[in-house]
Amino acid sequence: MLRRVAPPRRTFTRAELETYRGQEVPDLLPGPDDPPLRLLFVGINPGLWTAATQTHFAHPTNRFYPALHAAGIIERPIDPAAGMTDADRDHLRSRGIGITNVVRRATARADELTTAEYREGGQRLRDLVERLSPRVVAVAGLTAYRSAFKEPRATGGLQADPWGETEVWVVPNPSGLNAHDTPATLAEKYAAAARAAGVLG
């Protein structure tokens, strides 16, 4: 599907967002002149706001970037609701941080995804990790991890089986719909994965 990017703004109507259904968002990964990838965060799939702005975790109620900042994983605030800047992307890459998704197509809600999409996305993620060899891959969503990797009894935190040399962590979904975690608990759990990756001391 041809990728479209909305002009920078902080509000969209529901009808406008619906036009981005099915779109994909490019992975945020290091370039040839960037430090090696140390910590790869993995979302479930792009929401419609993320697709419109071509920016991961972009919805104004999403707590991903505030949690990263509170944890010290990034050194300055990032407000992506109107679209991430090149300077924001460069800052993440300079810290050895990347972002991708299990499933690439945008939906309004994760429950619109099929089991087949999770499994296909899980294999794509394994292939990506094998190619890039980050120290840690952190999947932000327990249900997504269980579905993508046929691990119905998985729990949060460090998983028992690494993917080659890469540790696998399951961390909470930062969506505002996740009432089980606060910004403080998100920061704490993201920091644990970041310490394992060497992003934090």
Residues 86-133 pLDDT 10s = 999 999 999 999 999 999 999 999 999 999 999 999 999 999 999 999
Whether 13 is in a domain gets the answer no
Whether 6 is in a domain gets the answer no
Strand partners, 99: 28, 41
Could you tell me the pLDDT band of residue 179, with boundaries at 50, 70 and 90? confident
Strand partners, 42: 100, 139
Give CA–CA dist 67/88, Å, rounded: 15
Whether 176 is in a domain gets the answer yes
Residue listed under structure tokens 């994760």: 110
Total domain count, the chain: 1
Residues 54-97 pLDDT 10s = 999 999 999 999 999 999 999 999 988 888 999 999 999 999 99
Residues 6 or more apart whose Cβ sits within 8 Å of residue 35: 93, 94, 95, 96
Whether 86 is in a domain gets the answer yes
190 Ramachandran zone, left/alpha/beta (phi>0; psi -120 to 50)? alpha
**34 three-class SS:** coil
**113 three-class SS:** coil
pLDDT score of 2? 46
Whether 18 is in a domain gets the answer no
pLDDT score of 5? 56
Whether 88 is in a domain gets the answer yes
pLDDT score of 9? 54
**Residue 6: pLDDT above 90?**
no
Whether 1 is in a domain gets the answer no
Return the CATH number at 182: 3.40.470.10
Q: What is the pTM of this model?
A: 0.93
Residues 35-60 pLDDT 10s = 999 999 999 999 999 999 999 999 99
Whether 16 is in a domain gets the answer no
Structural domain span for residue 97? 33-197
